[in-house]
Amino acid sequence: MDTIAPKTPATLPFAAWQAMAPAAAAQEVQRRMAALPADLRAAALAWVRPEQALAGELAAADPKQPLSGVPYLLKDLFDLAGVPTKAGSTFLDQARGLPGQDGALPRRLRELGAACAGKTHLVEFAAGLFGDNAHYGDCPHPFFTGRLSGGSSSGSAALVAAGVAPLAIGSDTGGSVRLPAAFCGLYGFRLTPHGEFIRDAMPLAPSLDTAGWFTANAADLLAANAALVGPSRQSKEPRGCFLPAGELGIPFDPATAKACDRAAADLSKPAGRDTTAALLASWTGAIEAYTVTALHEAHAVHRDWLAPYHEHYEPGSWQRFSDGGRYQPEQLAKAAATFAAVRTTFRRFFADYDYLILPASPFPALRKADCTPEARKHILTLTTPASLGGLPVLTIPVALPSGLTTGLQVIVPTADSAVVPWILKR
């Protein structure tokens, strides 16, 4: 039986925060942080802006900007001037020093009127999906004690769900926005690799890393996207399809499969036989290609730190990053060929369709004992296609009879696709 966590304050939309005086909003953020269960607070909060400083940031915002008065939380991969960036580790600030300036994404958020209330913990160096961290504690689900929030953007997702702030920034390499959004019942959006908002963040695998964000409701995600992405492209009534859970070749929790298929059917029709076959054929080998590429690139990022900071890494992270330097040219070439095949198939798909819907997870939030290599493989079966495709993804929550949640991935060809507001307004 699941144990329900102590009640957290209700989430407030952007408009409610924007209606508060700056000092009142800063005080409310602090109150909500203080109300968190101790284990969630420790596992999710990496740094907190002092109340008076946050009030000043909120007061300094241009009231004409669309996000004026909105407090947000920042995944601790993104730099803030003078604040340590640790990326879920204990040593990154020693290896790199303190940032001298804000990263591109927090800088843009300040220009839009938002104020950073704090930084959030993550899976060490963003290399994981479950929300576990040996240094700061595994990030618990905000509502179901004994289950995890999902990761790697664990703190960001858990704290938006817990009502601490209405917006949080994450990143997504292999599902790190999509999975915690599904587990925590949030709306999420991931951008594309090499974009301006991710280029100066601490990388995991630069060719796969994307920036993203979470909100608790559709209207707020619509507002965040309008501000950060810009106006959507005009189009006719969008045309999309979905792949039913039973077509995806992995075991699903029955309630999750049923709920995902039902929610997807409200937004599109099932993909035809030829479309399904073409997509699934191109995704053969996607997990292997993703793993080889991500770890090879992670090794390049960490190569100079692996020896001097060996004892400071989580052992599993150190081993995976070390192993990433041992891939042979033929393995890298095979991975590159799979990337190319996936991208070619998606280009053909988007010549006929505007969006593709897949489940975001084959089960709801997991207990630690269920966070196994098999569970990781089943998640990556769903998330690696868009990752290899380098595509933006909208995640929308799907409620389950148990009170837990899953989600749908809505994969689109461009971040400014008109599909995103079309779905959010529905």
Main-chain phi, psi angles of 72, to 5 degrees: -140, 165
CB 174 within 8 A of CB 387: yes
163 backbone φψ class: left, alpha, beta (φ>0; ψ -120 to 50): left
Model pLDDT, residue 3: 67
Average of pLDDT values for 335-354? 98
| CATH number, position 89 | 3.90.1300.10
265 and 369 inside one domain: yes
Q: ∠ CA 72-179-278 to the nearest 5 degrees? A: 130
Residue 207: inside a domain: yes
DSSP designation for 311: G
Residue 209: inside a domain: yes
Gap between the Cα atoms of 128 and 122, Å rounded: 9
188 and 295 inside one domain: no
Whether the CA torsion 415, 416, 419, 425 is positive or negative: it is: positive
318 and 222 inside one domain: no
* pLDDT of 391 above 80: yes
Mean pLDDT of the chain: 97
Residue 410: inside a domain: no
* pLDDT of 73 above 80: yes
415 backbone φψ class: left, alpha, beta (φ>0; ψ -120 to 50): alpha
Gap between the Cα atoms of 405 and 2, Å rounded: 14
Tell me which of 180, 204, 228 is where a domain ends: 228
223 and 252 inside one domain: no
Residue 417: inside a domain: no
Please report, as a single letter, which amino acid is at residue 262.
R
> What is the C-alpha R_g of the chain?
20
Residue 73: inside a domain: yes
Residue 233: inside a domain: no
368 CB contacts (<8 Å, ≥6 apart)? 130, 132, 138, 146, 148
172 and 278 inside one domain: no
Gap between the Cα atoms of 342 and 281, Å rounded: 9
Model pLDDT, residue 280: 98
Helices 286-302, 329-352: inter-axial angle, 10-degree rounding: 120
Model pLDDT, residue 362: 98
Strands (E), 298-411: 355-359, 393-399, 405-411
Model confidence pLDDT, tens digit, residues 311-327:
999 999 999 999 999 99
Catalytic (active-site) positions = 75, 152, 176
Please give the residue range of the domain that contains residue 209.
3-228
Gap between the Cα atoms of 205 and 211, Å rounded: 12
14 and 129 inside one domain: yes
Model confidence pLDDT, tens digit, residues 165-213:
999 999 999 999 999 999 999 999 999 999 999 999 999 999 999 999 9
* pLDDT of 6 above 70: no
Query: Of 169, 183, 167, 191, whose CA–CA distance to 120 is shortest?
Result: 169
281 and 208 inside one domain: no
279 and 214 inside one domain: no
Residue 5 — very low, low, confident or very high, per pLDDT cuts 50/70/90? low
132 and 257 inside one domain: no
Largest CA distance in the chain: 60
* pLDDT of 8 above 80: no
Please report, as a single letter, which amino acid is at residue 20.
M
The encoded tokens of residue 309 equal 């900071």
Residue 331 — very low, low, confident or very high, per pLDDT cuts 50/70/90? very high
Model pLDDT, residue 23: 98
Model confidence pLDDT, tens digit, residues 33-43:
999 999 999 99
Question: For the chain, how many structural domains are there in total?
Answer: 2
Element (H, E) at 57: helix 51-60
Model confidence pLDDT, tens digit, residues 74-133:
999 999 999 999 999 999 999 999 999 999 999 999 999 999 999 999 999 999 999 999
Collapsed DSSP state (helix, strand, coil) of residue 136: coil
Residue at token pair 């929030």: 149
* Bond prior to 417 in cis (omega within 30° of 0): no
Gap between the Cα atoms of 353 and 370, Å rounded: 36
CB 72 within 8 A of CB 165: yes
* pLDDT of 424 above 80: yes
Residue 396: inside a domain: no
179 and 210 inside one domain: yes
Please report, as a single letter, which amino acid is at residue 339.
F
214 and 312 inside one domain: no
Strands (E), 255-389: 269-270, 355-359
Model pLDDT, residue 235: 65
Model confidence pLDDT, tens digit, residues 200-258:
999 999 999 999 999 999 999 999 999 999 998 766 789 999 999 999 999 999 999 99
Gap between the Cα atoms of 238 and 258, Å rounded: 24
Model confidence pLDDT, tens digit, residues 280-314:
999 999 999 999 999 999 999 999 999 999 999 99
Residue 425: inside a domain: no
Collapsed DSSP state (helix, strand, coil) of residue 363: coil
135 and 98 inside one domain: yes
